[in-house]
Amino acid sequence: MAADDYAVIVGITSYPGLKPLQGPENDARVFSEWVEDPAGGQVPGTNIFTIYSSMYAQTTMAPDAHPWKGDVYAAFDKLLDLGNKNGGRTGRRLYMFFAGHGITPENEVDEAALLMANAARGKLSHIPGRAVATYLRAAAYFDQVVLFMDCCRDAWGTTRLQDPDWDIVNRSGAVEYFFGFGSQWNQKAREAQFELTRGKPEVHGVFTSHLITMLRGGKMTAATLRRLMLNSAKRFAVPSTEYVPVLEPELQDSIVLSEGAPPVEFPVTIRFNGLQPGEELEVRNGKFAQVYRDRPQGNEVTIRLAPTNYEARVRPTAREIAFDVPGQDTVSL
Amino acid sequence: MSPAKTPSASSGSEAIRLIADAGDPMVEIFVIDPDLRRIARAAGRLTVDLPPGIYKVKFKAGTLGGTVEDEKMVVLEPGRIPPVVQPSESISIASPVPIRKTRTSHEYHRIPARAISKLTHARLGSGSRLLIFVRDLDKGRTDNPLHGLTLHTLESDAPIVELEKTGEIIRDFSSGYREGEDEISAACSLELAPGCYRLRVSESPWGSFESAVVTSPGWQTQVFLPRRSFESDPGKQGAFPDLQQASILMARPEDGFDFENPILKLIEKARYALAERRAALGKSAVDVMLGEKFRNPMLGLYAAHILLLAPDPDEGLLNVVITNLRPLLGEHPDLRALELWQAQRAGEDLKPFSFEAIPMLKRSWHIVRSAAAVSEDMVPESSFLSRIPGWEMCDTMWLTWDADAVARLSAEKSLGFPTTALGISGVHTLAADESMRDVLEEANLDPVEREIMAFVQRELHLASGTGDRTVSREERDVISPRNIAVDYVRHGWWQMGSQGSAFSGVRDGIASILSRDDLLRKMGLPKSSVRIGVQRLLQILPRQQVGLVLEDNLPMLGANKPLER
């Protein structure tokens, strides 16, 4: 159990002043489940702060809609207070997960700002995720800061970045970090129906769906997560749209995710048109090590494979197909 | 073709050759190894020797609003002859230019665009031509895509042409256009004197923006703009011509816009490569571009800047490009910027370089901007160009700026730079009920002014012995006279001067920037722009009455106590 890890998780679906969304609260919920899961983030439930639209009274008036910035910052304030009472250290790792509408404020090409429920044209109240994470890194309340944001990053030239109003605290000490954004600068993040829970399709952000699928794969470093996500992004993109997540830094091996899980593997279903007498199905990894050899019944078999490139083939005939994991969850011979 | 760098792991005798061919020099190719690491990269065609294994080959090309990709798996195993890996189909790009065989091109755009490019909707002068073509990428709108577009000279804010009134909506029913169902387009074709103009887009959700459009003698400059949708009111979609995604071409007026010219796709891919800062384009791609630049000089400008992306640019090749472009373009700010780069590298006198005209490409502007940091005549203070710094849109390929902000700056009369007696004025008029915070936060600094203040703050840190503390980007965003004042007190800078001129440290710091070439170089802004910012700051500071506020607090500060609020 990561007893001194914490999480602040925000999912905003209801925006009276903007177009409503369907997925962010689902996103926040699945991330919250992962973060508490013994095979996931292992964060104690009492250390998880969740802020969802549905926790507040619904209204059609934008100015009255919650959560506001203060609702979210209240969670951070508690963590800062805890740290201040504890010699400046709150815990080992902080997860921040934000899903909802988002923008890039004026001249802040690296920023992703989550719009609050009371945002409306001309007054885009927001929480700048990177700025908050950067502040927390500088203040060193945690040894590690992990930020994920599933929101658009439309360049919004008329909105200035709204910094948190915390006092500047600069402590020495290298705080490790890993940031993931569901869209590039001036690009859209999208939501669609995904089946993250078997038999229960629901709307999720593309990035969250991708992230959770990868995180459920098993124990991995942040650097591995980055590699896996960049190599499998195409599989999650909504057709005819672009999806290129931003994950940084490139080499972050100090942050280990899903620490309680076994080494990372993904299920892959291999379909074949029945095996003839004497035929076998063989799967070799990218370095030609045999990882599966059998004579399965029926027309398909599902096996768990570690991330790499593979070739499945029916021996001794020449039916074969190369594929990558994660990338394709179903291949047909 | 430039072979990709061979990974060291492949040095054994077992290495197998992988060949990937995109059939297009502007398509990038990557190879991903079994450890999911990118191990080779090239443009157009890739040849690499690799250890046996299963690899993924990715093809990637720039397109309107992003990139298109394709992936192929390949098995390299002794005894098996690997195929030449190719993308499934020619990677199809989308473009604001209605080029044949691009994803968003329609006959009902292409044919009228060609016809209109040879018409003249208005004659404003002679010697060059300008075509502005705007089209929707979404179906069904019927409003005029030229709405909100105006053309201006550098000197006057009054438009010389309102394109919506002068141009025409394109309704080519003979080519199958269905009004209200298909993507609407409109165009305006002008004859005008060669020179630099400002193309303004008003009524975007973010206000008004401008880009420079340069026309050259004997050429038609062709500007193609896609429209970008936005939610104007809840549930209601608006659209505006998107300068950020503009494609600019050049053609001989007698040729006009020739949508069948294969060079157009090459230009678009070069533009995307430049926009994405991809220096990976191989020599073959650059060679093709340079060979075609005589038919469209924009290719020459793109090729030159792509060459400049390299860590060690091929100066010989650049010299050839620049020399060839000169007779084609004549006086052109983008070409002049390249010549400035050349002169800087050669250590030549930069005095002959003076920029009144605005470069179209942001990369050209960056060359000018940094060179002008210590050469005030290069961007004269009276020029429109000196007002642009700080108001450029970020991360765009074209130099695009906030027209409203620059217009406000331009409208202000010259303030006159005080050279003596930088003392505090008006310090005795502060109303008793105004708090320091309220007074000082009134100052809404421009980006250049914030930059100047950041440097002053750093200098004061140095002067007070609190160390060489670089001001971070995050800190720069919250710099204000108030924050400077707080630092001023915290660090005891007031002790550096007499109490009667408590804030002269900051004022002196601001004024002295203009004589500090080292700081001006670090700021990388034209000196004329810094001068304008300095003048404005020196006006703001006494108005904010910082001096009095500090004077009021000095007794309390005598014990070196930080200012409490």
- When scoring B37, B245, B474 by the number of chain A Cβ atoms within 10 A, the one with the most, hence best to mutate, is B474
Spatial contact of B342 and B372, defined as CB atoms under 8 Å apart: no
**B144 to chain A, minimum CA–CA distance in Å?**
24
**DSSP label at residue A329:** S
Report which of A38, A49, A50 is spatially closest to residue A2, judged by C-alpha positions: A38
**B36 to chain A, minimum CA–CA distance in Å?**
6
- When scoring B14, B36, B209 by the number of chain A Cβ atoms within 10 A, the one with the most, hence best to mutate, is B36
CB-based contact B394 A109, cutoff 8 Å: yes
Report which of A55, A72, A56 is spatially closest to residue A114, judged by C-alpha positions: A72
Quick one: pLDDT at residue B550? 44
φ and ψ at residue A11, rounded to 5 degrees: -135, 115
pLDDT reading at A25 higher than 60: yes
CB-based contact B66 A109, cutoff 8 Å: no
User: Maximum Cα–Cα distance for chain B, whole Å?
Assistant: 92
Spatial contact of A271 and A330, defined as CB atoms under 8 Å apart: yes
Q: Distance from CA of residue B196 to its chain's centroid?
A: 17
Quick one: pLDDT at residue B358? 95
CB-based contact B53 A311, cutoff 8 Å: no
Four-residue CA torsion sign, B480, B485, B486, B492: positive
Chain B residues whose CB is inside 8 A of the A157 CB are 206-207, 393, 402
CB-based contact A242 B66, cutoff 8 Å: yes
At B146, list the tokens. 């030229």
Architecture of domain B8-76: Sandwich (2.60)
B381 has a chain A CB within 8 A of its CB: no
B83 has a chain A CB within 8 A of its CB: no
Comparing alpha-carbon positions, the chain B residue that sits nearest to A158 is B206
At A81, list the tokens. 């207070």
Q: Give CA–CA dist A106/B395, Å, rounded.
A: 12
**A215 to chain B, minimum CA–CA distance in Å?**
17
Comparing alpha-carbon positions, the chain A residue that sits nearest to B483 is A168
Residues of A with CB under 8 A from a CB of B: 17-19, 107, 109, 121, 131, 134, 155-158, 161, 163, 185-187, 227-228, 231, 234, 242, 244, 284-288, 307-311, 320, 322-324, 327
| Total number of residues shown for chain B | 565
Q: Which helix (H) or strand (E) holds B542?
A: helix B527-544
Q: Which amino acid is at A101?
A: H
Chain B residues whose CB is inside 8 A of the A309 CB are 32-34, 36, 53-56, 73
Strand B185-192 to B128-135 pairing? antiparallel
Domains of chain A (ranges, CATH numbers): 5-257 (3.40.50.1460), 266-332 (2.60.40)
- Residue B54 has its nearest CB partner, among A186, A187, A322, at A322
CB-based contact B55 A307, cutoff 8 Å: no
* Beta-carbon count within 10 A of A4 CB: 17
Comparing alpha-carbon positions, the chain B residue that sits nearest to A308 is B34
Comparing alpha-carbon positions, the chain B residue that sits nearest to A322 is B73
| CB neighbour class for A112 (10 Å; exposed up to 12, middle 13-18, buried from 19) | buried
At A16, list the tokens. 């009276």
Query: Look-up: residue for tokens 């060669």?
Result: B194
Q: Give CA–CA dist A21/A203, Å, rounded.
A: 9
Angle, helices B315-329/B333-345, rounded to nearest 10 degrees: 150
Spatial contact of B16 and B50, defined as CB atoms under 8 Å apart: yes
Report which of A53, A59, A49 is spatially closest to residue A26, judged by C-alpha positions: A53
CB-based contact B395 A185, cutoff 8 Å: yes
Report which of A298, A259, A306 is spatially closest to residue A281, judged by C-alpha positions: A298
Q: Which helix (H) or strand (E) holds A84?
A: helix A69-85
pLDDT reading at A170 higher than 90: no
With b for 16 or more beta-carbon neighbours within 10 A and e for fewer, the B121-141 pattern comes to bbebeeebbbbbbbbbbeeeb
CB-based contact A308 B478, cutoff 8 Å: no
pLDDT tens for A33-57 read 999 999 999 999 999 999 999 999 9
At A176, list the tokens. 């490790």
Quick one: pLDDT at residue B239? 87
B253: CB partners within 8 A, 6+ apart: B118, B129, B218, B219, B220
Number of cross-chain residue pairs from A and B with Cβ atoms under 8 Å apart: 89
Average pLDDT value over all residues in chain A: 91
B446 has a chain A CB within 8 A of its CB: no
Cα dist from A166 to A73, A74, B403, whole Å: 10, 12, 34
CB-based contact A309 B34, cutoff 8 Å: yes
Q: Give CA–CA dist B289/A70, Å, rounded.
A: 55
At B388, list the tokens. 């642009």
| Total number of residues shown for chain A | 333
Q: Give CA–CA dist A223/A255, Å, rounded.
A: 8
Quick one: pLDDT at residue B370? 87
Cα dist from B296 to B44, B249, B437, B484, whole Å: 22, 7, 57, 51
Chain B residues whose CB is inside 8 A of the A231 CB are 32, 36, 56
Average pLDDT value over all residues in chain B: 76
Spatial contact of B236 and A121, defined as CB atoms under 8 Å apart: no
User: Maximum Cα–Cα distance for chain A, whole Å?
Assistant: 74
CB-based contact A244 B75, cutoff 8 Å: no
With b for 16 or more beta-carbon neighbours within 10 A and e for fewer, the B453-483 pattern comes to bbbbbbbbbeebeeeeeebeebeebebbbbb
At B529, list the tokens. 């722009």
Chain A residues whose CB is inside 8 A of the B37 CB are 227
B77 has a chain A CB within 8 A of its CB: yes
**DSSP label at residue A182:** S
Spatial contact of A180 and A195, defined as CB atoms under 8 Å apart: no
Q: Give CA–CA dist B67/B70, Å, rounded.
A: 10
**B421 to chain A, minimum CA–CA distance in Å?**
36
Instruction: Extract the residue ranges of chain B whose pLDDT is less than 50.
Output: 1-12, 413-442, 467-479, 482, 489, 492-503, 543-565
What value of ipTM does the predicted structure carry? Answer: 0.79
B 475-494 near A (Cβ less than 8 A): 477-478
Q: Give CA–CA dist B254/B116, Å, rounded.
A: 12
Q: Give CA–CA dist A252/A226, Å, rounded.
A: 9
pLDDT tens for A61-112 read 888 999 999 999 999 999 999 999 999 999 999 999 999 999 988 777 789 9
Chain A residues whose CB is inside 8 A of the B39 CB are none
Q: Which amino acid is at B366?
A: H
Q: Output helix, strand, coil percentages for chain B, rounded to the nearest 5.
A: 35, 20, 40
Comparing alpha-carbon positions, the chain A residue that sits nearest to B235 is A19
B152: CB partners within 8 A, 6+ apart: B158, B159, B160, B197, B198, B199, B200, B210
Cα dist from B65 to A62, A203, B228, whole Å: 31, 25, 10
**DSSP label at residue B308:** H
Quick one: pLDDT at residue B501? 39
Chain B residues whose CB is inside 8 A of the A244 CB are 66-67
Four-residue CA torsion sign, A212, A213, A218, A223: negative
**A216 to chain B, minimum CA–CA distance in Å?**
19
Cα dist from A94 to A5, A43, A147, B154, B348, whole Å: 6, 10, 8, 52, 55
Report which of A280, A291, A327, A284 is spatially closest to residue A307, judged by C-alpha positions: A327
Q: Give CA–CA dist B460/B467, Å, rounded.
A: 9
What residue segments make up the domains of chain B, in order of their start? 8-76, 107-261, 277-411, 436-557
Is pTM beyond 0.95 here?
A: no
**A19 to chain B, minimum CA–CA distance in Å?**
7
Q: Give CA–CA dist B34/B50, Å, rounded.
A: 11
**Angle ∠(B463,B469,B475) on CA atoms, nearest 5:** 120
**Angle ∠(A114,B209,B407) on CA atoms, nearest 5:** 115
Q: Give CA–CA dist B135/A180, Å, rounded.
A: 35
pLDDT reading at A222 higher than 90: yes
Quick one: pLDDT at residue A10? 98
Cα dist from B51 to A290, B55, B77, B400, whole Å: 17, 10, 9, 48
pLDDT tens for A126-145 read 999 999 999 999 999 999 99
CB-based contact B34 A227, cutoff 8 Å: no
Long-range contacts of the stretch B230-238 (C-beta < 8 A, 24+):
B230/B204, B230/B205, B231/A18, B231/A19, B232/B205, B233/A121, B234/A17, B234/A18, B234/A19, B238/B203, B238/B205
Report which of B151, B158, B21 is spatially closest to residue B91, judged by C-alpha positions: B21
φ and ψ at residue A257, rounded to 5 degrees: -110, 155
